[in-house]
Chain A
């Protein structure tokens, strides 16, 4: 039986129609994300997006303890959205999930659509919306940016876990009471969200301190950019 190690939803937890439904939702979402990302990516931001994906892969390996016998790991949607925008961010997380499933047998293949929907689409969208709502605070100073990164990442984790609850409600084993499953999943992810918040705040804070021009969230704010017109 697959027990530990696998970090994402395994195959067999959702029935086939539900897996197909969320596979289709994932594909549709990724089409929109690709169209949107094309607008955001240029010579400066494309390498950044590649690095953000690699960074998320690395940090997802670092499971941290949240309760006795329970760990958590970064999802990365808010982190990616704040640094490279929501469209490229969703694609970053997707590429990580696809490589984890194909190269490392981590996360089921039929569950890939559901995992992409939760972590790359729902999580990234939630994190980005929260960050945009708080953009004025993020643009004020470094403390504001770090605080907004923390809150956005916390919401990203908790709302992404709601995606699993929704999928399980639609196509999970009905022998298990949904209320109990939801309470456990959401409760644990509130704790994981704190870790996600800390990692995201540290990362966004570090990039913001060195290269604020590479923080997508700060684009178009009154914060003076340190871009030189050298070409």
Chain B
């Protein structure tokens, strides 16, 4: 059972890595539903300049917009979104996996 469980978990992780690292290149780059809603009433110009009257005009730049992985790029290179995605999956797995592993009930045989 242990090896079968391990196999399932490895497979699950691989699927996540493939989705973030490869399939993400086929993602739609249009604004998502929420952004679309906040952009209602505005037109987006060439330098992402907003003209018109919309909620998004109140939005502030992200405080970490210059961070190395900002907007799923790597050092500003957004052709590397897949690499950013792989980093993200590994980081999530490490943070979430570690957190949940510390939080879990210990099995009695460990004591």
Binding site for B on A (CB under 8 A): 1-13, 34, 37-39, 41-59, 61-67, 69-73, 88, 91-92, 95-96, 99-106, 108-109, 161, 164, 168, 172-173, 176, 180-181, 184-185, 188-189, 191-192, 207, 210-211, 214, 228, 230-231
Given A10-B62, A51-B12, A105-B70, residue A3 in contact with residue B35 (CB < 8 A):
yes
Contact check, B33 vs A189: say whether CB atoms are below 8 A apart.
Answer: yes
Q: How far is the CB of B105 from chain A (nearest CB, A)?
A: 5
**Minimal Cβ-Cβ distance residue in B for A118:** B34
Contact of B100 among A10, A49, A59, A62 (CB under 8 A): A49
How many chain B residues sit at the interface, stated as a range, is 35 or more
**Minimal Cβ-Cβ distance residue in B for A107:** B62
Binding site for A on B (CB under 8 A): 1, 5, 8-9, 12-13, 15-17, 19-20, 23-24, 26-40, 44, 48-50, 55-65, 67, 69-72, 81, 84-85, 87-93, 95-101, 103-105, 107, 109
List residues of chain A with CB within 8 A of the CB of B96.
49-50, 52-54, 91-92, 95-96
Q: Which of A38, A46, A50, A108 has the most CB of B within 10 A?
A: A50
Contact check, A50 vs B93: say whether CB atoms are below 8 A apart.
Answer: yes
